[in-house]
Structures are given as C-alpha cells and as structure tokens.
Amino acid sequence: MKKLSIIIMSISLGCSAQEKSIGELVAEDPSFYEFIDKEAKIEVLAEGFTWSEGPVWVKEGGFLLFSDVPQNTIFKWRADEGLTEFLKPSGYTGILPYSREPGSNGLTINSDGELVVCEHGDRRVTRMPLGGGGGKFTLADSWMDKRLNSPNDVIQASNGTYYFTDPPYGLPGLDKSEMREIDAFGVYKIDKDRKVEMVVGNLTFPNGVALSPDEKILYVTQSDPNAAYILAYNVKNDGSLDEGKILFDATPMAKSGLKGLPDGIKVDRNGTIFSTGPGGILIISPNGKLLGRIDTGEPTANCAWGEDGSVLYITANHYLAKINTKTIGNGF
C-alpha cells in the first residue's frame, strides 16, 4: 500500500504546475478553426503516467475517469480535487507478471449510469455500478466458447447494444500469444440478452469505436502502422454491419514519422470525427476530409468529451490534458 501511495503522490506532484501546456494546433483546412480557436491551448492536468487511456466523463458527479493500462489502475480527476486513484486492480486480478498492458483500457458510461470497462488481463467487458454495493458484472468474456483476446474499447447504442473491439494488446506475446483462442481480432456486438456476435473479423489491430449521432454508422480505428485506417460501417436494422469502407487512410502520416496511430475515437453532435492518430488528434469531416490536428507532441491514445460537452479531454502517453473546443460532443 505504501508503494501505491508513493506512485500517486509522484503523479499528483508532477502535474501540479499551473498553466502548463503541450503541443500545437495544425490546420489542414480553414474550417479547422470552426472547431478549435486559434489561441486554444492543450492544457496539462496531470502527468507521470505509464500509458494513459480510455477517458470518460461522468456527468453525475462531474469528474473524469481514465485508465493507466500498464499500472492496472483507473484514475479519477476532478477540478476541485485533482487526481485520485479510483480502482486498482482495474483490468487484471490474476498473478503478476502477466503482460505489459494488464489493466483496463476503454471506458464508457452505459444507459443505466454504470461504468463499462474493457479489461485486458481478465479478457472481458464488465459493468460496475458507480454508487457501489454491487461489484462487477461480466457482459462478455467469450465468443463461441472461446476466450476473448483483450477487449480494448466499447460503445453503447441507444437501444442497449454494445460494440467492442478485441485486439491482442493485453496478451503476453501480443498477436503471437500462445494464449489466443480466437484466430480473428474482431469487432463484436453484445445484444440486450447478452448474446455475443462477431460483426467484423477481417482486421489486424482493431482499436477504437464510436457511433455517428444518428447511430447509422459505426466507426472503427485500426492501429496497424501498415494499414492505419479509420473505417466506417453501416449499421443494419438488426445491429449487424455491412462490409464497411476506409473513411480515412492515415498510413502515409504514420510512415512520415508523426507519433501515434489511430486509436481512440469520438464524434461531435454534428458528426465531425475526433480521432487519435499520427500527429495527435485528427479532426475529420464526415466525408473523410482531414481538417487539422490537435498535435500533443506525444503518441495520443484517446479522448473524451466532458463538462458541458465542449471540453475535449485527452490521454497522451504520460499526460492527461484538455482543450476547449467550439463544438459540442455527441451525447451532450
């Protein structure tokens, strides 16, 4: 317990300096500034993490939760409290060492106000009441009687259906792991009756997921440096997907030396895409045009809308940061 306290203290003290900012704004089209003010800063809220990931804003309470995957920890950040440890272990309850990324990754809040967690080490998607008094409940840990790889990111549609990705990043040995039971790295859906179905099975490293505001399109990112795609799938009436298409190919950007790959992805209420990728957060129109980048200068894992919906929280390597935008996130 003493060691954990020291870790939290070092992170908290490391981020206490006021007015620290990182990175820069890079416009590829004049319309970029319709979303981000030219003078907006990427403000550092906390630093010292191993690999920060999966942020989600909790409206009931007004705070942010996010993962540090290697530390097997979910942290909580609130403006009037700063940084505290929220949950540890967050994604692996077995015997260590396990893998380089054993903890939780993607987080979301479901329609019942529960925290939904992608757990790398325990290889499952769970839900947990935030009010306490219930522990965790498994939503999915297998498909066709085979254990999942390491669920990475999750989103819930308004009808209750969940979609999640299952790459190998939490497995010992990654895609070469001897623990793999499923050949594909899939995208899955969970129906309201908890039936798990693979809806995409031909990707190499599926990662982030997001729905368009009308829920007719599911966006999936692929963090493969040789096929760094943001893909768009039409959602059918039964919740299954069509064959999809490449909405944006970030492979040339990845090969140019810009840090990062397509990872976490969010959408504003008008359907504009905010996806992490090479060079920070890429702002992309619904038809796939790159408008510009919020370049943190770091490999950037994920982002989430918070506060009144206009604040974009960012997990970028060792940092938790935020930037004020001129738009409103979907769901606010």
Task: Determine if residue 237 is labeled as part of a ligand binding site.
Answer: no
- pTM, two decimals, is 0.94
Residues of the chain short of pLDDT 50, as ranges, are 1-9, 13-17
Question: Which residues are part of the catalytic machinery?
Answer: 263
Count CB neighbours of 151 within 10 A. 28
First to last CA, the chain: 38
For strand 273-277 and strand 280-284, is the pairing parallel, antiparallel, or unpaired? antiparallel
CA nearest neighbour of 210 among 291, 277, 267? 267
Reported as a single tens digit per residue, the pLDDT across 92-150 is 999 999 999 999 999 999 999 999 999 999 999 999 999 877 799 999 999 999 999 99
Structure tokens that stand for 72 in this block = 């097997």
Q: How far is CA 38 from CA 9, 11, 224, 304, in A?
A: 35, 30, 31, 21
Residue 134: predicted pLDDT: 77
Structure tokens that stand for 295 in this block = 């370049």
Q: Which domains does the chain have, with CATH numbers?
A: 2-324 (2.120.10.30)
Residue 291: predicted pLDDT: 98
Task: Determine if residue 175 is labeled as part of a ligand binding site.
Answer: yes
CA nearest neighbour of 230 among 261, 190, 186, 271? 261
Phi, psi dihedral angles at 183 (to 5 degrees): -65, -40
Task: Determine if residue 53 is labeled as part of a ligand binding site.
Answer: yes
Residue 11: predicted pLDDT: 62
CA distance 94 to 212: 37
CA distance 287 to 285: 5
CA distance 293 to 273: 11
Residue 133: predicted pLDDT: 72
Residue 48: predicted pLDDT: 98
Label residues 177-198 b or e (16+ Cβ within 10 Å = b). eeebebebbbbbbbeeeeebee
Reported as a single tens digit per residue, the pLDDT across 291-301 is 999 999 999 99
Residue 19: predicted pLDDT: 84
Residue 252 DSSP one-character state: H
Task: Determine if residue 145 is labeled as part of a ligand binding site.
Answer: no
CA distance 41 to 19: 9
Q: Is 153 within 8 Å of 125 (Cβ atoms)?
A: no
- Reduced to 3 DSSP states, what percent helix, strand and coil does the chain have, rounded to the nearest 5? 10, 45, 50
Count CB neighbours of 4 within 10 A. 12
Task: Determine if residue 224 is labeled as part of a ligand binding site.
Answer: no
CA distance 311 to 251: 28
CA distance 113 to 58: 8
